Amino acid sequence: MKRRLKAFCKANDFLVRSYKNYIAFSSSSEKIFDVLLPLILAIGLAMGVYFLNNITVKEFIYKFNSLNGTIISAISILVGFNFAGVSIIASSQSELVTYLKSKKSKRDDNTTLFKVLMIFFTWSIVIELLIVTIGVILYFSSQFFVPSSIMQNEVPVYLWAVVSLLIFLVFHALFNSIRNIKMLFYFITKDYTKSEDTDTSDDRA
C-alpha cells in the first residue's frame, strides 16, 4: 500500500515540479512582481471589503458567485492564450527557437533558454487550471453545502481568507502572464548578432 501511494504521488507530482522549476528560474524582482504584489493586493482588497461592508452569508454567496463566474470565464480565455503560445513555440522551426534550444541558461548550465520559456508558460497554465478548479469547487459548495440556518449570519473571517486566496491566485496568474509576454517580446526583438558578452538584458535566464 505504501509503495502504491508513493508511486501515485511520484506519477502525479507535476504541480510540485512545476512550482519548483518556476521558483528556481525566477529572480528576486520577478518573485516580488509575481507573488508579493498579488498577495498585497489580494489581502488589501479582501480587508477593504471586510471592514467597509457588513453583509450576510446569503449576500456574500450571491456576490461571490457573480465574481467567481467572471473569474472562471476570464481565466479560461487566458488558459487558451497560453496553450496557443506554447503550441506555437513548441512547433516552430524558426531561427529564434533554434537559438533558444542551443543557448544555456545563466542559472543552470543543463537547462536551455527554450526550457526556461516552457517552464514559465507551463506554470501559467497550471495555476490557471487550478484557479478554474477551485472556482468550480467553491461554486458547487456554496450551492449545496451551506446550511440555510446561517444564511442571515455575518460572514465568518475564514470565508474572507478563502476569497483572499482566490484573488491572490488570479492576480498571480495575470501578472505571470504579463511577465511571459515581456519575456517573449525580449526573445523576439533581441539582436542575436550582438556579442553575448556585452548583452546583460536577459535578467531572467
Q: Classify residue 4: in a domain, yes or no.
A: no
Q: Classify residue 134: in a domain, yes or no.
A: yes
Segments of the chain scoring below 70 in pLDDT: 11, 191-205
Q: Classify residue 112: in a domain, yes or no.
A: yes
- Number of structural domains, the chain? 1
| CA 132 – CA 64 distance, rounded (Å) | 14
Taking CA atoms, 115 is separated from 44, 100, 108, in Å, by 35, 8, 11
CB 137 within 8 A of CB 65: no
CB 150 within 8 A of CB 94: no
Q: Classify residue 39: in a domain, yes or no.
A: yes
pLDDT at 106: 84
Q: Classify residue 24: in a domain, yes or no.
A: no
CB 177 within 8 A of CB 82: yes
Q: Classify residue 8: in a domain, yes or no.
A: no
pLDDT at 18: 92
pLDDT at 93: 74
pLDDT at 107: 85
For 110-139, what is each residue's pLDDT tens digit? 889 889 889 999 999 999 999 999 999 999
pLDDT at 38: 96
Q: Classify residue 51: in a domain, yes or no.
A: yes
Q: Classify residue 108: in a domain, yes or no.
A: yes
Output DSSP code: residue 191: -
pLDDT at 164: 93
For 133-158, what is each residue's pLDDT tens digit? 999 999 999 989 988 889 999 898 88
| CA 169 – CA 180 distance, rounded (Å) | 16
CB 122 within 8 A of CB 18: yes
Q: Identify the H or E element spanning 15.
A: helix 14-24
Which range marks the domain in which residue 59 is found? 31-189
Backbone angles phi, psi at 139, to 5 degrees: -65, -45
- DSSP string for 63-98: HHHHHHHHHHHHHHHHHHHHHHHHHHHHH--SHHHH
pLDDT at 82: 86
